[in-house]
């Protein structure tokens, strides 16, 4: 989670592209969503459901799920949407749009999963974080973090959109750490 925080903090928000990228990274971290589901979000997929804001994701396999939006993520999304002038855009308009080279301007075209992967790799490099990390790393980090906090596996499974709890356990990195304490105990 420390690397996720470092990445978020490293993104300059004085540009429209920076605001967009921070919003994408924040969604990946705060929802455990897949990069492909984030890339295809439409403006109407971020909506108010009476008491709270929600994100509606179209997932692989034709599944969909709705995730409540944390207050800090809500603020990040509104900052981006206001700067991009898309808060009142049609519901089917892409939420995250491609950039025109290095101009800092956005097109009307929606990003795709490859665009999200490239952006994450660029942002990881700029933040001096390991290149082995990917958008999927945030999914793993979020799932592990929730399990470390004692959130029931079934709740984390629902957040991740997994049909089977065994799949959620595959993302659990708590017991997969080899510590120095372990290697110091090797009796030779």
CATH homologous superfamily, domain 2-130? Intergrase catalytic core (1.10.443.10)
Q: Encode pLDDT of 45-82 as tens digits.
A: 999 998 999 999 988 777 888 999 999 999 999 999 99
Q: Cα–Cα distances in Å, from 180 out to 3, 42, 44, 176?
A: 21, 46, 49, 13
- The residue that leads in pLDDT, 171 or 86, is 86
Per-residue model confidence as pLDDT tens digits over 10-38: 999 999 999 999 999 999 999 989 999 99
pLDDT tens readout for residues 100-146: 888 888 989 999 999 999 999 999 999 999 988 888 888 888 888 88
Domain-wise residue ranges, the chain: 2-130
Phi, psi of 43 (to 5 degrees): -55, -40
Beta bridge partners of 104: none
**What does the DSSP 8-state code read for residue 110?**
E
Tokens representing 181 are 């304490």
> Which whole-number Å values give the CA distances from 54 to 70, 71, 118, 120, 180, in the listed order?
9, 11, 26, 23, 42
C-alpha to C-alpha distance for 58 and 41, rounded to whole angstroms: 8
Q: Which residues pair with 47 in a beta bridge?
A: 54
Do the beta carbons of residue 7 and residue 134 sit within 8 Å? Answer: no
Site of tokens 């990881």: 124
pTM listed for this prediction? 0.86
């Amino acid at each position: 989670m420390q690397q996720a925080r470092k990445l978020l903090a490293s993104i300059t928000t004085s540009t429209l592209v920076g605001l967009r990228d921070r919003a994408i990274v924040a969604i990946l971290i705060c929802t455990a969503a897949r990069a492909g589901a984030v890339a295809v979000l439409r403006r109407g997929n971020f909506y108010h459901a009476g008491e709270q804001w929600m994100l509606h994701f179209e997932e692989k396999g034709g599944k969909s799920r709705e995730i409540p939006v944390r207050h800090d993520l809500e603020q990040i999304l509104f900052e981006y949407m206001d700067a991009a002038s898309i808060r009142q855009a049609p519901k089917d308009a892409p939420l995250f749009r491609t950039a025109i080279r290095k101009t800092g301007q956005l097109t009307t075209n929606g990003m795709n999963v490859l665009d999200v992967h490239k952006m994450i790799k660029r942002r990881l490099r700029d933040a001096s974080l390991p290149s082995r990390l990917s958008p999927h790393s945030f999914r793993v980090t979020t799932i592990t973090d929730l399990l470390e906090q004692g959130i029931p596996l079934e709740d984390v499974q629902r957040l991740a959109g997994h049909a089977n709890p065994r799949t959620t356990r595959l993302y659990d990195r708590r017991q997969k750490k080899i510590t120095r304490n372990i290697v110091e105990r090797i009796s030779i």
